[in-house]
Amino acid sequence: MAVRTATPVTGWLLRGSDGRLTAYAPAEGGVVRWTETRPGGPEWTGPELLAVPGLEPFLSIAQGPKGYVHLVGVRRREVDDRTETDIVYATQFQSGRPPTNWRSIGSPHGQDWQRSAQIGAPAAAVDSAGLHVFVRNSGGGVCGRRQDARGIWGPWADMKGSHVLDGLTAVATPAGRVELIAPAAECVLRWRQEQPGGPVRRVLNVPAKPAAGSSASGVTGDDRVTHFWRDAADGGLQTLLPDAGADDEPSVTSVGGTGTGPVAVLRAVLDGHECTVLAQRAASGLPAVAVCPSGDETLPAQWSETGEEFTGAPALAVDANGRVTVAVLGTDGHLRVARQRSDEPGLALGPWQRV
């Protein structure tokens, strides 16, 4: 079963409401899924194919406060004499159970199939009301569509922007407020909700030259999101200073360390202290992990490489036993997992498990 990755994403390892971890990846013919057989592992089921004919090799994944997992992707199908492109989604309510049928929410360009074929990979997040889906449109701006608390979809909204590159990323805080960033040719574009469930509004651009497909966003506080991207020139990881509000002049700093693709971001408690754990694909191709105090993600990170070469981007989660868990997809397509050692202070990883 061949795993396929175009623009890599990091949020593909999630803990369900029953405590079990599930990993997801786009594959030939749909999505593959691995699921812990019991909370905390170590045994897994999978890879199991969730068939989605025509799904592009990209998957945006969002988890709501109830633990439901929303899978969102782009589907291309040959219909008569044309190729139809639309955005589809499915919802998994319980770990290991089949998701709902895949449903279409169309494209910002409706049945203009030529323009629809030019849309980018979507980004998804769940706020206090429902699911949001954002996508780069054919003109290089951003469009969004949102679901209300009754599950009804509103119309596509033009969220403006220009010269947007691949790699939109969206995340919701525990308070239920969504933030979105999009890399562009000469800046990082930003949108945010000021109140949970409110409108997602454009805020000040961040002066930067981000690499396409390198953006990442993670929850680092009760109502704080930290955004990351790579410098297009040297691959160095950069971040927007925490707590930058809608009207604050954005300021960028380097996090240290070079690599490829987006960085995984996880809020965790280590030795009684709230921390932000980062994981990236280092320049060597190996997984690399760093830890910094929550709220101080601007401190130069001390990266520790581990494991073996992998593809795509890493993922992070806290398992049912409270252990930080790192997951990657090996070059052979097999899932590999390493968990925090409970007999050592800080973040010391145990041996890698090939699933």
Per the CB < 8 A criterion, the answer to whether 156 and 132 are in contact is no
pLDDT at position 247 over 80: no
Backbone phi, then psi, for 200, in 5-degree steps?
Answer: -95, 110
pLDDT at position 172 over 90: yes
pLDDT at position 182 over 70: yes
pLDDT at position 243 over 70: no
- Please give the order of strands across the beta sheet that includes 131-136: 123-126, 131-136, 142-146, 157-158
Sign of CA dihedral 157, 163, 166, 167: negative
Q: What is the pLDDT of residues 122-164, one digit of tens each?
A: 999 999 889 999 999 999 999 999 999 888 999 999 999 999 9
Per the CB < 8 A criterion, the answer to whether 8 and 214 are in contact is no
Model's pTM, two decimal places? Answer: 0.94
Q: How confident is the model at residue 26 (pLDDT cuts 50, 70, 90)?
A: confident
User: Cβ atoms within 10 A of the Cβ of 296, count?
Assistant: 11
Backbone phi, then psi, for 158, in 5-degree steps?
Answer: -80, 115
What pLDDT score was predicted for residue 298? Answer: 65
What pLDDT score was predicted for residue 291? Answer: 93
Measured distance CA(47)–CA(327) in Å, rounded? 14
Q: What is the pLDDT of residues 100-124, one digit of tens each?
A: 999 999 999 999 999 999 999 999 9
DSSP state of 159: -
Task: Kindly list the structural domains of the chain, giving each domain's residue range(s) and its CATH number in brackets, ordered by start.
Answer: 13-262 (2.120.10.10)
Q: What is the pLDDT of residues 223-236, one digit of tens each?
A: 889 999 999 998 99
- The residue among 214, 215, 258, 252 whose CA lies nearest residue 236 is 258
User: Which of 43-47, 76-80, 90-94, 314-318 bottoms out in mean pLDDT, i.e. has the lowest?
Assistant: 76-80
Give the rounded percent of residues in the chain with a pLDDT score beyond 70: 94
What pLDDT score was predicted for residue 7? Answer: 66
Q: What is the mean pLDDT of residues 19-38?
A: 93
Per the CB < 8 A criterion, the answer to whether 338 and 307 are in contact is yes
Give the rounded percent of residues in the chain with a pLDDT score beyond 90: 75
What pLDDT score was predicted for residue 1? Answer: 53
List all residues 6 or more positions away from 209 whose beta carbon is below 8 Å from its beta carbon: 185, 186, 231, 232, 233
pLDDT at position 20 over 90: yes
